[in-house]
């Protein structure tokens, strides 16, 4: 049987090779070997995604590669989700985060990874999906009273809609009741500051750390 380091290395390889079958296989192997699912995701799957993301940024890989890597990661996460849910039921929730990909944007890759990592970290995550209308973000803030509402945009053309979330939350009189987080490939700290968002999540790990810091948990 492979040891923990070998299993984690194989998990990373499954992502960088865009191999969803290997991702499922290694997730099952990790569960059987008693590897901590959080460690498997952070050091294996997420590390692989970050490598793919860097190569994408440098022009060595293209969007279909990134999507294929994300599919592999999702395949692996699906296998270990029941175990993570079991562990989570034994611990107190750190708060609620509503997250979605902004209206006009059908890409869900980054949002899915951030949602998974927040879930693992102990937050209750309400995934609103992709191409989410601005009014839905506002309605969910009123209805669910989450601590954080997060929007992801993978295109500069849809990124501008993140301003509307800020504006419409103010118009609805609920802006001061929730922290807003923005993220996605074209999004920067400068953009977040410009539109008045509370948190900019540069990566999945960064998003989790900043949400924890913002909520002091």
pLDDT in tens, 7-31: 999 999 999 999 999 999 999 999 9
**Strands laid side by side in the 124-132 sheet:** 124-132, 96-102, 148-152, 179-183, 199-201
Instruction: With a cut of 80, say whether residue 90 has pLDDT above it.
Output: no
Reading the block at residue 179, the tokens are 């922290």
Output the pLDDT for position 33. 95
Extract the tokens encoding 187.
């999004």
Angle made by CA atoms 67, 162, 158, in degrees to the nearest 5 = 50
Measured CA to CA, the distance from residue 106 to residue 66 in angstroms comes to: 14
Domains of the chain from N-terminus onward:
2-85 (1.10.1240.10), 94-213 (3.40.50.280)
pTM of the full structure = 0.78
Dihedral (Cα; 139, 188, 122, 80), 10-degree rounding: 100
The whole-angstrom separation of Cα 179 and Cα 159 is 18
Q: Which H or E run includes 210?
A: helix 204-215
Please report, rounded to a whole number, the percentage of residues in the chain having pLDDT higher than 70. 99
- Phi and psi based region of residue 177 (left: phi greater than 0; alpha: psi -120 to 50; beta: remaining): alpha
Q: Is 102 helix (H, G, I), strand (E, B) or coil?
A: strand
Instruction: Please give the average per-residue pLDDT across 37-47, as a whole number.
Output: 88
Q: Are 160 and 143 in contact (CB under 8 A)?
A: no
Say which range, 33-37, 54-58, 76-80, 146-150, has the weakest mean pLDDT.
54-58
Which of 24-33, 79-88, 168-177 shows the lowest mean pLDDT across its residues?
A: 79-88
pLDDT digits (tens, 9 = 90+) for 185-207: 899 999 999 999 999 998 888 99
**pLDDT at residue 85, rounded to an integer:** 78
């Amino acid at each position: 049987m492979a040891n923990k380091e070998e299993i984690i290395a194989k998990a990373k390889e499954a992502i960088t090779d865009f191999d969803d079958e290997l991702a499922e296989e290694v997730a099952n192997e990790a569960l059987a070997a008693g590897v901590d699912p959080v460690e498997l995701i952070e050091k294996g799957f997420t590390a692989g995604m970050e490598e793919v993301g860097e190569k994408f940024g440098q022009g060595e890989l293209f969007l279909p590669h990134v999507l294929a890597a994300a599919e592999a990661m999702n395949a692996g996460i699906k296998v270990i989700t029941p175990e993570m849910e079991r562990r989570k039921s034994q611990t107190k929730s750190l708060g609620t985060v509503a997250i979605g990909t902004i209206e006009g944007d059908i890409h869900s890759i980054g949002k899915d990874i951030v949602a998974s990592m927040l879930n693992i970290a102990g937050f209750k995550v309400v995934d609103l999906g992709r191409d989410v209308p601005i009014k839905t973000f506002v309605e969910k803030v009123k209805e669910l009273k989450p601590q954080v509402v997060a929007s992801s945009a993978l295109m500069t053309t849809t990124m501008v809609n993140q301003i509307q979330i800020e504006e419409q939350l103010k118009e609805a009189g609920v802006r001061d009741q929730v922290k807003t987080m923005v993220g996605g490939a074209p999004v920067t700290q400068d953009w977040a500051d410009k539109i008045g968002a509370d948190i900019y999540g540069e990566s999945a790990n960064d998003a989790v750390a900043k949400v924890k810091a913002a909520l002091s948990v």
